[in-house]
Amino acid sequence: MEDISSRSMTITRTFEAPIELVWKVLTTPEYISVWWGPEGFTNTIRTMDVREGGIFDFTMHAPDGTDFINFYHYQEVKPLQKLVMEHKEHPKFNIVVELFQEGEHTKVTWTNIFDSAPTMEETIRAFKADVGLIQNIERLSEFVKRLNV
């Protein structure tokens, strides 16, 4: 198996919520638009067709007014288990989100896998992707908490 450690970032978080709720928050446009991205970002979702071969087309709006157009292709969709999305434009990377039921909780492992170590390093330098990943999972966590009352 290929060692991807030099070109990937992974974060794991356990949510005090059922796996069905976490899956819904990951796959529903109205929810994604609220929590996706680093702190202060908002989103306009154009298309979110969560199925293998489907697309996720949206714009992230930064607090400073900069717009970041994003376009992903869903490579793998296993309900309540796994999402794999490919970002084909530069920077090229895949997002792999895996869900694991642990009693009443849900463990989520989120990995960004870049096409190369230099691409990952450039993305961290230019966009603070490492900090963004942490903030993204924090926003996901806060949103799940709000819904799970």
Q: For residue 110, what are its two tokens?
A: 């989120």
Residue 48 has pLDDT above 90, yes or no: yes
Q: Which amino acid is at 105?
A: H
Q: Convert the pLDDT of each residue in 117-141 to its tens digit.
A: 999 999 999 999 999 999 999 999 9
6 burial type by CB count under 10 A (0-12 exposed, 13-18 middle, 19+ buried): exposed
Q: Which amino acid is at 11?
A: I
Q: Convert the pLDDT of each residue in 1-24 to its tens digit.
A: 789 999 999 999 999 999 999 999
Of 50, 8, 44, which is closest to residue 25 (Cα–Cα)?
50
For residues 115 and 100, what is the distance between their CA atoms, to the nearest angstrom? Answer: 26
Residue 41 pLDDT: 96
Q: Where are the domains of the chain?
A: 5-143
Q: Convert the pLDDT of each residue in 56-90 to its tens digit.
A: 999 999 999 999 999 999 999 999 999 999 999 99
Beta bridge partner(s), residue 99: 108
47 burial type by CB count under 10 A (0-12 exposed, 13-18 middle, 19+ buried): exposed
Whole-prediction pTM value? 0.96
Mean pLDDT for 109-122 is 97
Of 80, 107, 112, which is closest to residue 96 (Cα–Cα)?
112
The 10 Å Cβ neighbour count of residue 76 is 13
Please state the CATH superfamily assignment of the domain spanning residues 5-143 in this structure.
START domain (3.30.530.20)
Residue 121 pLDDT: 97
SS3 state of residue 44: strand
For residues 85 and 74, what is the distance between their CA atoms, to the nearest angstrom? Answer: 4
Q: Convert the pLDDT of each residue in 19-36 to its tens digit.
A: 999 999 999 999 999 999
